[in-house]
């Protein structure tokens, strides 16, 4: 995404995340604010597409940064980028929220690549999120993917992450990421084509 790219470029000129984290831990409020402003956008957009609700996405961002502040979520700069760590935290928080739904809707386990893709209607409980019609249709099609496909598609297509980075965030191997991405995109294209055909008939 444009903002993500911009953020990555900008961070090369401004204090590194590790420096800001160190300052934050010694009580520098401006360092914490800088970290938040640098990462909140991508994190919010990921959470929003992942869960489909603006309020929940905001809560996820808040909880992720609160965890960073209190030490509940421990980031180790030697193990990767802060943004990827935060994506992982947000993903886990959303998964936790979805656990309640999983009790009622049987979703395929994450490692079952051959299982049929079940539409996750519960994942898109809310109404319109975006103003642009085309974008909203794509978002709706995305929200109907099974969660483990959605993770890969969002991180790859919307955040420009590599297979390796997504594999690290989702704790799966690169082959699995590639497979999920391919299946997710195919399912979305199929659904969008069906909706388009329906629109043509209704028109």
- Interface ranges with another protein (CB under 8 A): 1-3, 27, 29, 32-33, 36-37, 40-41, 43-45, 48-49, 54, 57-58, 61-62, 65-66, 69-70, 130-132, 134-136, 138-139, 142, 156-158, 160, 162-163, 185, 188-189, 192
Specify the residue, 107 or 142, whose C-beta has the smaller distance to another protein.
Answer: 142
For 23, 39, 45, 112, 157, the CA distances from 175, given in Å and listed in that order, are 39, 28, 25, 13, 17
How many angstroms separate the CA atoms of 58 and 45, rounded? 9
Specify the residue, 107 or 145, whose C-beta has the smaller distance to another protein.
Answer: 145
Q: Minimum Å distance from CB 136 to another protein?
A: 8
Q: Minimum Å distance from CB 103 to another protein?
A: 29
Q: Minimum Å distance from CB 2 to another protein?
A: 5
* CA dihedral angle for residue 112, residue 118, residue 120, residue 121, rounded to 10 degrees: -170
Specify the residue, 66 or 105, whose C-beta has the smaller distance to another protein.
Answer: 66
Contact 42, 35 (CB under 8 A): no
Specify the residue, 6 or 102, whose C-beta has the smaller distance to another protein.
Answer: 6
Q: Minimum Å distance from CB 79 to another protein?
A: 23
Specify the residue, 52 or 107, whose C-beta has the smaller distance to another protein.
Answer: 52
How many angstroms separate the CA atoms of 14 and 176, rounded? 35
DSSP string, 39-94: HHHHHHHHHHHHHS-HHHHHHHHHHHHHHHHHTSS---GGGS-HHHHHHHHHHHHH
Terminal alpha carbon distance of the chain: 33
Q: Minimum Å distance from CB 106 to another protein?
A: 28
């Amino acid at each position: 995404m444009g903002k993500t790219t911009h953020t990555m470029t900008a961070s090369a000129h401004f204090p590194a995340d590790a420096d800001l984290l160190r300052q934050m831990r010694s009580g520098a409020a401006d360092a914490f604010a800088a970290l938040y402003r640098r990462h909140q956008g991508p994190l919010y957009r990921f959470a929003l597409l992942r869960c489909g609700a603006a309020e929940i996405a905001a809560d996820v961002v808040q909880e992720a940064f609160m965890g960073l502040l209190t030490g509940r979520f421990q980031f180790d700069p030697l193990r990767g980028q802060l943004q990827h760590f935060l994506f992982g935290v947000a993903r886990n928080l959303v998964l936790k929220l979805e656990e309640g739904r999983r009790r009622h809707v049987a979703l395929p386990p994450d490692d079952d690549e051959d299982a049929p893709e079940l539409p996750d209607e519960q994942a898109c409980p809310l109404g319109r999120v975006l103003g642009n019609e085309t974008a909203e249709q794509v978002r709706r099609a995305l929200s109907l993917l099974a969660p483990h496909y959605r993770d890969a598609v969002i991180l790859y297509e919307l955040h420009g992450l590599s297979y390796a980075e997504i594999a690290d965030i989702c704790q799966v191997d690169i082959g699995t990421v590639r497979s999920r991405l391919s299946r997710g995109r195919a399912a979305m294209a199929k659904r969008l084509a069906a909706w388009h055909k329906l629109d043509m008939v209704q028109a």
